[in-house]
């Protein structure tokens, strides 16, 4: 059997086609090599960048941790110093006999009627929705303590009141020795704190003449916390002011449900000012100076 031979006229076109195919194949291989080289270079560059980013993240985490530890350490160191400073202030204001721990003032006679008065007489009581009463009082150490009844009735057989020192995160709350006045309100509102019972206490800051608020939401087992919205306002009270608070409840009218705190900002102004909050509508506190003016 004879193999057919190509005609001379077809040889050149076939050779040209083969040459074109070889060129295409070589070009494809070259492109593939270039792509591989670029991917390799990019990978080598990205690894140090990723490593650097991870290293920077690690440094930031270490810095944050160190910062937290430093803040905790400073707080641990400053709290005892602050407590010692407060104790020294209390001792200077009300010095005691080191042997009997009795106030030195009792050994001296005074003709002033104020000598027979005590900051321990500052107390206020609120009634809760279940009928139980909470009585707040300032003790001899200028701390707020409270007595909470177990039953609404005072009839026999009686139940003793639970007595506790008001604390936030384990630390007792001290009032201003120059102005150891307190006030409080108790209420519930369906649009505030999930309708749970609320108790709010108002007093003057230990180291300034700013009014402060403490809140308890829920039953007697719940913790006390600072009233941040009220405290951020730094309402100022003068040294001769009294302090009173109430809550106005109007059935079916959320906008009429208000907490009102009465006090004097300026000793030269004999008229009371009021700070108020519309419960269940907004947490914003407003102030109205001199309630005798419109």
Domain boundaries along the sequence of the chain: 52-117, 119-288
What is the rounded distance in angstroms from the CA atom of residue 279 to the CA atom of residue 215?
14
What is the rounded distance in angstroms from the CA atom of residue 190 to the CA atom of residue 20?
86
Phi, psi of 281 (to 5 degrees): -110, -50
The pTM is what?
0.63
What is the rounded distance in angstroms from the CA atom of residue 106 to the CA atom of residue 24?
112
CATH class of 119-288: mainly beta
pLDDT at 232: 94
**Whether the Cβ atoms of residue 247 and residue 258 lie closer than 8 Å to each other:** yes
| Secondary structure of residue 1 in the 3-state scheme | coil
What is the rounded distance in angstroms from the CA atom of residue 14 to the CA atom of residue 91?
114
pLDDT at 2: 54
What is the rounded distance in angstroms from the CA atom of residue 173 to the CA atom of residue 138?
10
pLDDT at 76: 61
pLDDT at 112: 39
- Whether the link from the prior residue into 82 is cis, omega within 30° of 0, is no
What is the rounded distance in angstroms from the CA atom of residue 48 to the CA atom of residue 64?
24
What is the sign of the dihedral through the CA atoms of 241, 128, 286 and 294?
Answer: negative
CA 90: distance to chain centroid? 28
pLDDT at 105: 47
Sheet holding 273-278, edge to edge: 244-248, 258-263, 273-278, 285-288
pLDDT at 260: 95
Share of the chain above pLDDT 90, in %: 40
The residues of the chain scoring below 70 in pLDDT are 1-10, 43-56, 66-67, 70-119, 252, 254-255
pLDDT at 274: 95
pLDDT at 172: 96
pLDDT at 85: 59
pLDDT at 64: 74
């Amino acid at each position: 059997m004879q193999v057919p031979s190509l005609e001379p006229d077809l040889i050149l076109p076939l050779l040209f086609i083969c040459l074109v195919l070889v060129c295409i194949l070589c070009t494809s291989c070259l492109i593939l090599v270039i792509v591989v080289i670029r991917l390799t270079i990019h990978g080598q560059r990205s690894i140090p960048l990723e490593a650097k980013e991870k290293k920077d993240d690690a440094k930031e985490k270490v810095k944050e941790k160190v910062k937290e530890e430093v803040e905790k350490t400073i707080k641990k160191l400053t709290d005892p110093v602050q407590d010692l400073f407060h104790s020294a202030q209390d001792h200077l204001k009300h010095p005691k006999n080191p042997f009997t721990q009795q106030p030195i003032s009792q050994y001296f006679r005074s003709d002033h009627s104020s000598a027979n008065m005590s900051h321990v007489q500052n107390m206020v009581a609120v009634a809760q929705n279940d009928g139980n009463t909470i009585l707040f009082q300032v003790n001899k150490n200028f701390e707020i303590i409270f007595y909470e009844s177990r039953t609404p009735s005072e009839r026999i057989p009686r139940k003793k009141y639970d007595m506790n020192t008001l604390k936030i995160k384990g630390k007792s709350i001290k009032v201003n020795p120059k102005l150891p006045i307190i006030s409080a309100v108790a209420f519930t509102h369906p649009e505030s704190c999930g309708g749970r019972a609320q108790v709010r206490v108002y007093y003057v800051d230990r180291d300034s003449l700013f009014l402060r608020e403490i809140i308890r939401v829920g039953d007697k087992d719940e913790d006390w916390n600072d009233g941040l919205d009220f405290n951020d306002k730094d309402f100022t009270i003068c040294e001769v002011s009294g302090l009173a608070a109430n809550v106005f409840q109007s059935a079916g009218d959320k906008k009429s449900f208000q907490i009102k705190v009465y006090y004097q900002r300026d000793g030269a102004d004999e008229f009371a000012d009021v700070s108020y909050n519309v419960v269940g509508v907004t947490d914003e506190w407003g102030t109205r100076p001199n309630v005798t003016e419109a």
